[in-house]
Chain A
Amino acid sequence: MEKLELPAVEENFAALMNFLEERLDRSGLDSENLMLIKIAFEEIIVNVIHYAYGADGGSICVLIDFLEDPKRLFIEVRDRGVPFNPLERADPDIHASVEERAIGGLGIFMTKKIMDSVTYRREDETNILTMIEAIR
């Protein structure tokens, strides 16, 4: 298990993405899956950076691991901000006409579509979002 904890600010977006990318490079996943997992991860960390904390700020913690039997990628994103379960948000209607297209909720919808499993729990005043993707 590898871990990176940084202040949850826009300036650390690239460092957080790099942390994931460097680990994905040795995952054996194909290029389409790599891109999709990066998108799923971006949506989650951007949510934390933008919404988890008020003016005082706080940290974001990312944990990445490769699990065996069956082989899968494990990503966990933690923050100690306001309790927020992004999975409770209703999915956007992707069949709505463009005029009626709501702009919100698209990111978390994509994350749920991309990853095999996305779960949320609140523990020790921490939001914990766990994403798992099988490596085939």
Chain B
Amino acid sequence: MGNNFSIEVSGTVAKVTLVDKIDTTNAPALADELKKLIGKNLERVVFLVKDLKYISSAGLRAIVFAKQKIGQNVQVYLIGAAKEIHNIFKMTGFDSFVKIQDTYED
């Protein structure tokens, strides 16, 4: 997790674990890795963020990208967000297209 993220694909679900900070320094690498998910017929991209403490607009752009480019029918989840992170998703209206849940079960 040198870049503060890791991605694991299983069937039609990609789980993306984000920790600590996603900012202008590591968001481009995250976006590059998410691009590799295009064409994999995913149904869900699940961001596991319980240890995420900071996300700037660069990180949010990578998440919007996941929704826009990976596939029309992909549902994006945000799991375990701290209150501060949840509030950023509300502030930016991202809560309208990301399912925000405390926990995730396959």
Query: Within 8 Å of chain B (Cβ to Cβ): is A32?
Result: yes
Size category of the B interface is 20 to 34
Q: Name the prevailing secondary structure of the B interface residues.
A: helix
Contact partner, B54, options A38, A99, A107, A109, Cβ 8 Å: A38
Q: How far is the CA of A99 from the CA of B53 in the complex (A)?
A: 27
A-B contact count (CB 8 A): 61
- Whether A113 contacts B53 in the complex (CB less than 8 A), given A13-B24, A31-B84, comes out as no
Interface string of A27-42 (1 = CB under 8 A from B): 0000110011011001
Interface residue tally for chain A (C-beta within 8 Å): 25
Q: How far is the CA of A97 from the CA of B67 in the complex (A)?
A: 11
The distance from the CB of A53 to the nearest CB of chain B, in whole angstroms, is 17
In B60-92, the 8 Å CB interface with A consists of 60-61, 64-65, 67-68, 83-84, 87-88, 91-92
- Whether A42 contacts B91 in the complex (CB less than 8 A), given A13-B24, A14-B25, A32-B84, comes out as no
**When the two chains form their complex, are residues B56 and A42 in contact, meaning their CB atoms are under 8 A apart?**
yes
The distance from the CB of A59 to the nearest CB of chain B, in whole angstroms, is 19
- Whether A42 contacts B23 in the complex (CB less than 8 A), given A103-B61, A103-B64, comes out as yes
Q: How far is the CA of A13 from the CA of B24 in the complex (A)?
A: 9
Query: Within 8 Å of chain B (Cβ to Cβ): is A46?
Result: yes
Q: How far is the CA of A42 from the CA of B24 in the complex (A)?
A: 8
- Whether A106 contacts B67 in the complex (CB less than 8 A), given A14-B25, A94-B93, A113-B91, comes out as no
CB pairs A–B below 8 angstroms (17 shown): A35-B53, A35-B84, A39-B88, A42-B24, A43-B57, A46-B24, A46-B56, A94-B93, A95-B93, A97-B96, A103-B61, A106-B60, A106-B61, A107-B56, A110-B88, A110-B91, A110-B92
B-contacting residues of A (Cβ < 8 Å)?
13-14, 31-32, 35-36, 38-39, 42-43, 46, 94-99, 101, 103, 106-107, 109-110, 113-114
